Amino acid sequence: MKASGSLLLALLSVSASAHYVFNHLVVDGVETGPWQYVRDVAAEANTGYNDNEMIGKVRPQEDINSEAMACGRQAFRTTQSTQTVDLQPGTALGFNIQHDFDSQGNGFDNIFHNGPAQIYLARAPNDDLSTFNGTEGKWFKIASITAAHDTRPNADYWITYGKNRVNFTLPEATPPGKYLLRIEHFMAPQFYVNCAHVNVLGNGAGVITDSDYATFPGSYKLEDPGSYPYLSIIWSHRCFPVSSGFFFLTETIAITLDYKIWNKPGALLNYVGPGPKVWDGSGSSKREVEFIA
């Protein structure tokens, strides 16, 4: 299947206006204020937007080797103004996207792109979040929210698609301390990344080993062949699994696709996101995690 130039341009144009940021932390179902506990980010440079315009902030990260892969563009500059929320292990958490792009309410209010969401934690050295930018962090994954059902044409076969919130639970075994709580949602090369300040209380004693850790940037390589079981090329909200853990909306969509692979019932349910396995503190990491759709 070849994409016509006009159709490809139209699709990319829609995609360009359908960006988002996760600027609200949700605690026990209660949405907190914008950028209250989430580090504020800068607008993308050279786009014509002022630094504080939401329509500039929502633009994704497209360089997986950029420091912005840790917590978003220039997020470290707002460490002093970002509050830290106290959390008990087992707390139901979430990230909500922005409610509008500007004061007139122009923009999308849902996760427009297909693709998975993943949640990571990284403990701040000496429990000092004010000096921790995340790029030197040791990140462990606590949730991976992927496919709702198989790859047959459904508008919602990604759990997060069309929603405005990503929900997950803080593992009961999370050791106490101050952490960056990182969300990523992606349809590579577009990564939507934000970080919240959290202080985990309690007596969690889960063991985190070196194999549980990722680094941002560093751990994700788009060119790694066969690292993960499925690569989905997104075409008009349809997923075409091939051989990796990333999702592409680029000119590469104008290639011949194997519909026999794509239409195999249940194929996408085998998808595993990039990075380490999900950590639950039990001593053995697991591939999946319970979540609230």
182 DSSP assignment: E
Residue 290 inside a domain? The answer is no
Q: Per-residue confidence at 286, pLDDT binned at 50, 70, 90?
A: very low
Distances, alpha carbon 176 to alpha carbons 42, 80, 196, 224, in Å: 30, 21, 16, 35
- Judged against a pLDDT cut of 80, whether residue 2 lies above it is answered with no
- Judged against a pLDDT cut of 60, whether residue 224 lies above it is answered with no
CATH value at residue 199: 2.70.50.70
Radius of gyration of the chain (CA): 18
Residue 277 inside a domain? The answer is no
Q: What is the 3-state secondary structure (H, E, C) of 135-177?
A: CCCCEEEEEEECECCCCCCCCCCECCCCCCEEEEECCCCCCCE
Per residue in 198-212, pLDDT (tens digit) is 999 999 999 999 999
CA distance 66 to 220: 11
Residue 157 inside a domain? The answer is yes
Residue 200 inside a domain? The answer is yes
CA distance 30 to 7: 41
Residue 276 inside a domain? The answer is no
Residue 95 inside a domain? The answer is yes
Q: Per-residue confidence at 284, pLDDT binned at 50, 70, 90?
A: low
For residue 190, the model assigns a pLDDT of 83
What 3-state DSSP class applies to 278?
A: strand
CA distance 209 to 43: 36
Residue 275 inside a domain? The answer is no
> Phi and psi dihedrals of 196, rounded to 5?
-110, 160
CA distance 120 to 231: 22
CA distance 95 to 26: 6
Give how many domains the chain has, as a whole number: 1
189 DSSP assignment: T
Of the candidates 148, 18, 165, 42, which has an alpha carbon nearest to the alpha carbon of residue 92? 165
Per residue in 110-127, pLDDT (tens digit) is 888 878 899 999 999 999
Count of CA atoms in the C-beta half-sphere (13 A) of 52: 4
Of the candidates 93, 27, 41, 34, which has an alpha carbon nearest to the alpha carbon of residue 70? 41
Q: Are residues 95 and 26 in contact, defined by beta-carbon separation less than 8 angstroms?
A: yes
Per residue in 127-171, pLDDT (tens digit) is 999 999 999 999 999 999 987 766 554 556 788 988 999 999 999
The 10 Å Cβ neighbour count of residue 92 is 14
CA distance 229 to 292: 24
For residue 49, the model assigns a pLDDT of 82
CA distance 291 to 165: 12
Per residue in 49-61, pLDDT (tens digit) is 887 888 889 989 8
Residue 238 inside a domain? The answer is no
What 3-state DSSP class applies to 261?
A: helix
Q: Which two tokens stand for residue 78?
A: 């707002």
Per residue in 14-35, pLDDT (tens digit) is 444 578 999 999 999 999 999 9
Domain assignment of residue 73, given as a range:
21-224
